[in-house]
Amino acid sequence: MNEQVLTNDEKDALVDGVETGEVEVQTGNGMQYASVRDFDITPRNHIVTDSYPRLQNLNLKLARSIGKSTSILLNEKVEVEPGSLASSTWVEFCERSTDAALIFEFNAMPLNGSAVVYVESDAVRHLVEAFYGGSKENPPRHAIDGFTPGEMNVVSLFCQDILKDIVDTWRSLILLEPEKVAVHQSTDVVEIIENGAIVIDSDFTLIVGDDRHDFHVAWPTSMLASLLPVFAGAKRERDAQEDARWEQVIRARVPEALVDVSSRIGNARMSLREVAALQAGDVIDLENPRIGTVFAKDIPVLEGRFGVHDGCYAIETTRWLADVDAAHSVAG
């Protein structure tokens, strides 16, 4: 590999031949010369990335939620750790593991398409044993190339809880309505997602005692197309028309809301000894009983003069209470 193809004398002769024209540099299409062309880089400023920090943060919260819900489901302490994110084709995703697995297919309106929860065989067996109160020291001994209807039902319960956790975790981003579509075995030939479609694989680890088992939530990028810029860290643009509609709804509904209104007329300071000595018929002297405060749901909103109007006790408003005044009113 270190031997020279041409000697120094041969290199010099070749260079001289090219310069004098004795050696032609050409192809079958004639002489080819290098050229420089203008290239406008500004229209190509969109960066495609496989890094989704917002989705990773959501997965961190989702893992905690799944751990809590699975602990309730199995009546056993369970922790879930989020793993890495990976993008691949659907075929590559399915070929990562040669072991049997259960694939829980679901949709999530208003997103279009189907996503999956991929539960590997070891996780399936542990979930089933813990659900039925079995001992992990005596695992089931059926063939691992297929799963029973009972095992599929248990995994469905586990995945249904995951869907609820996804709804709660993603609520600040989008309101999802996920539903189960079907449960498949990885050995079956099913057409859930197109083979060449790109999916985002969120890896999770189920930790029960000293045992660790993997499961995945895989989303097609086509299904998450509207959310990918947000997952990549971009700020989501607000819809001005939608904001205007919300403002109209709020302005129309808030005045119609019912609240409890109460009042406080005057204050008095007494020692505990005096309070303990109170008897029926005793009179408590109030400081300035002519001034009253009106509360809406225990929040002071206005102050006024206490008196009688049309034969009824009433308060004549003198001023609305600002935040500082309200705080002093409550303290008083």
Q: In angstroms, rounded to a whole number, what is the distance separating the alpha carbons of residues 263 and 259?
A: 13
How many angstroms separate the most distant Cα atoms in the chain?
A: 129
* Contacts made by residues 312-318, CB under 8 angstroms, sequence distance 24+: 315/263
Per-residue confidence (pLDDT) for residue 43, from 0 to 100: 45
**Is the pLDDT confidence value at 233 over 50?**
yes
pLDDT in tens, 102-150: 999 999 999 999 999 999 988 998 898 888 876 555 555 455 567 888 8
Name the more confident of 35 and 170. 170
Q: With contact defined as beta carbons under 8 Å apart, do 135 and 177 qualify?
A: no
Cis omega (within 30 of 0) for bond into 110: yes
Q: In angstroms, rounded to a whole number, what is the distance separating the alpha carbons of residues 64 and 74?
A: 16
Superfamily of domain 255-278+286-331: SpoA-like (2.30.330.10)
**Is the pLDDT confidence value at 18 over 80?**
no
Q: Find the distance separating the first CA and the last CA of the chain, reported in whole Å.
A: 93
The DSSP letter of residue 255 is G
pLDDT in tens, 62-85: 999 999 999 999 888 999 999 988
Q: What is the pTM of this model?
A: 0.56
- Reduced to 3 states (helix: H, G, I; strand: E, B; else coil), residue 224 is coil
Alpha carbon 267 to chain centroid, angstroms: 50
pLDDT average, residue stretch 275-297? 82
Amino acid at 106: F
How many residues in total does the chain contain? 332
Q: In angstroms, rounded to a whole number, what is the distance separating the alpha carbons of residues 126 and 80?
A: 14
> Which residues fall within 8 angstroms of residue 82, CB to CB, at 6 or more apart?
56, 59, 60, 62, 63, 202, 203, 204
Best CA proximity match to 94, nearest among 189, 183, 205, 160: 189
Q: Give domain limits for the chain.
A: 53-241, 255-278+286-331
Angle between helices 149-169 and 121-131 (to 10 degrees): 100
> Which residues fall within 8 angstroms of residue 207, CB to CB, at 6 or more apart?
78, 79, 80, 81
Superfamily of domain 53-241: CheC-like (3.40.1550.10)
pLDDT average, residue stretch 192-217? 90
